[in-house]
Amino acid sequence: MKKSLPVIRRCISCRLKFDRSNLLKITKDKNLGILINKGIGRSAYSCKTEKCSKDSKFKKNLQKALKTTIDKKFYEIIAIEIQNYK
């Protein structure tokens, strides 16, 4: 039987490659808005570390990857999600 390879994605902040299960998926859904770890649509991936979410370029890179502007409250939600993974 053929083994499937892991799906590799790149963090938008540190630019390192990881298995998709080790990253936080942020998706811009056409109808539902911006979702975390759900949805189908334009997506960006970030490490589950505070270092990447506190990076000075994180906000700019996320907005550029999703091609939209993001509210400041959403960054607080991302910080809470990252703290839950510890």
Q: How confident is the model at residue 67, as a pLDDT?
A: 94
Q: How confident is the model at residue 56, as a pLDDT?
A: 87
Q: Distance of CA 43 to CAs 1, 4, 33, 59, Å?
A: 31, 22, 12, 14
Closest C-alpha among 25, 26, 17, 13 to residue 57 = 13
User: Does residue 3 form part of some domain?
Assistant: no
Number of other residues whose CB lies within 10 A of the CB of residue 2: 4
User: Does residue 25 form part of some domain?
Assistant: yes
In this structure, the chain runs to a length of 86
Q: Which two tokens stand for residue 78?
A: 């991302």
State how many domains the chain has.
Answer: 1
Q: How confident is the model at residue 59, as a pLDDT?
A: 92
What are the pLDDT tens digits along the chain (86 aa)?
A: 778 888 999 999 999 999 998 999 999 998 999 999 998 989 999 999 889 888 889 999 999 999 999 998 999 998 898 888 76
Which range of residues forms the domain containing residue 78?
Answer: 8-84
Give the domain CATH number at 16.
3.30.1230.10
User: Does residue 1 form part of some domain?
Assistant: no
Number of other residues whose CB lies within 10 A of the CB of residue 85: 10
